[in-house]
Amino acid sequence: MLTDFLIGLAFFLIIEGLAYALAPRLIKRMAEQIPGMSEERLRIFGVATLAIGVGLVWLVR
């Protein structure tokens, strides 16, 4: 189980690193827009992202 967690963390870091390496301007623009978004909208986005991630893990497993 720890191995699965570490592999998941590694994939997260790889994807995060790719985003910063390939589209730094987009990342900066997104970071500037986040403070202007409502908490409700951010929460909905977070829950949707969480659900997609859980669904993908469920499909793979």
Domain boundaries, the chain: 2-60
Distance CA 39, CA 41 (A): 5
**DSSP code at position 36:** G
pTM of the complete model beyond 0.75? no
Per-residue pLDDT of the chain (61 residues), as tens digits, is 888 889 989 999 999 999 999 999 999 999 999 999 999 999 999 999 999 989 998 898 8
CA 14: distance to chain centroid? 11
Angle at CA 21, nearest 5°, toward 15 and 25?
110
